[in-house]
Amino acid sequence: MRRASWQEYQKDIADDKYYYARSCIRQNFFPGSEKAFLDILTNNLGIDIYDDPLHTSCTGIGYHSDVVPLETIMTVVARQFSLMAEAGYENFISSCITSFGIYNEVLATWEEFPETEERTRRYLKEATGRELVKPRSIAHTSDIMFHHRHAIARQAKRRLINVHTGEPLKVVEHIGCHYAKIFPKSGIGGSEFPYVLAGMIEAWGGDVVDYPERRHCCGFGFRNYLVQANRGSSIANSHKKLESMAPYKPDFIVANCPGCTMFLDKWQYAIAEMDGTTYGADGRGIPVLSYEEMAGLVLGYDPWKLGMQFHQVDVEPLLDKLGVEYSPEAKYLGPDGKHIGRPRDVAVNCEEVRRIYEIRR
């Protein structure tokens, strides 16, 4: 009953012709993921997707931090939609969960309060000379990947299976709060049983871990961490999740939100420093992947081309389990072959560590 309940919340996802809106922070922290998404859709699936250089930030970070007013963000969103129409597309897809929440929130506000839509149309016309055209469909990019998961599975070079034991990998999936907790009907499976990442994991051969704090927030909420003094609350959320998932011995975590992917990854270093606790089978941390990276590995992409060297927790143990061939020497080489620098040795990197940590296996 529980497994099937996700089917109660379904939404229409277009098959082709997407207008792609990028994320501000993903390009910094997981720079290979958006490129991988475009490559997979274009080269593997032959889908028409437009990566528009004219679109801007949705200004969601400023909006949630109370520095961008509602009227401003509505006008920015209206401009993105009009750019989409000018480019000849009507299916808007967003790479960021915050943006996805913003687009849904703005559309719902226009629906509930038509006067705000009229005002936004006027502002957009006065500021840019453009006309607002609303999209036919809105989806997050993880929805798109979920929609095409079986097509990806048919082209898979490998499955999410431990090549040494033959067992499916145990995967923790984490859904960004703004994916379906604001508008449950905007997410596959709603807010209680989101199936978007679990569907990918199951289609590609992995086992989904169901653990007590599965639906808990990662702590990224902008107000939670923007002020340094508040970050103790922020990290406590990730700590709670990691403590809760550790006994299930997950092989990796996959998330569909830029903030969650970053926090669940980088807080593992901070928790090791503050608390002396590390997670994972050998105490080297639990790798955290974006869903594009997971799909890229399944399709046989090079992990360094996917940008996996930018992770805080090293991914090599996971690559070994998957049987991925990679060059350790090429890890910190940029596209031009130049050395891009390497992080300092810490507990969650695969380097020799002299300090003693309490390992939560």
- Where along the sequence are the contacts to another protein (CB under 8 A)? 228-233, 235-236, 239-240, 270-271, 273-276
Q: What's the closest the beta carbon of residue 344 comes to another protein, in angstroms?
A: 11
Query: 161 φ, ψ to 5°?
Result: -130, 140
Q: What's the closest the beta carbon of residue 272 comes to another protein, in angstroms?
A: 8
Taking the C-alpha atoms of residue 36 and residue 170, their distance in angstroms, rounded to an integer, is 23
Structure tokens, 45: 């699936």
Dihedral angle over CA of 38, 191, 101, 197, nearest 10: -10
- Overall residue count recorded for the chain in this entry: 361
Q: What's the closest the beta carbon of residue 270 comes to another protein, in angstroms?
A: 7
Nearer to another protein, 119 or 231 (CB): 231
Nearer to another protein, 182 or 270 (CB): 270
Helix axes 31-39, 291-298, angle to 10 degrees: 50
Residue closest to 14 by CA, chosen among 110, 137, 109: 137
Cα Rg of the chain, angstroms: 20
The conformation of residue 43, written as its DSSP 8-state character, comes to I
Taking the C-alpha atoms of residue 283 and residue 280, their distance in angstroms, rounded to an integer, is 5
Nearer to another protein, 59 or 237 (CB): 237
Nearer to another protein, 211 or 332 (CB): 211
Nearer to another protein, 199 or 219 (CB): 219
Q: What's the closest the beta carbon of residue 273 comes to another protein, in angstroms?
A: 4
Structure tokens, 60: 């969601």
Q: What's the closest the beta carbon of residue 309 comes to another protein, in angstroms?
A: 23
Nearer to another protein, 233 or 327 (CB): 233
Query: 9 φ, ψ to 5°?
Result: -110, 100
Q: What's the closest the beta carbon of residue 22 comes to another protein, in angstroms?
A: 30
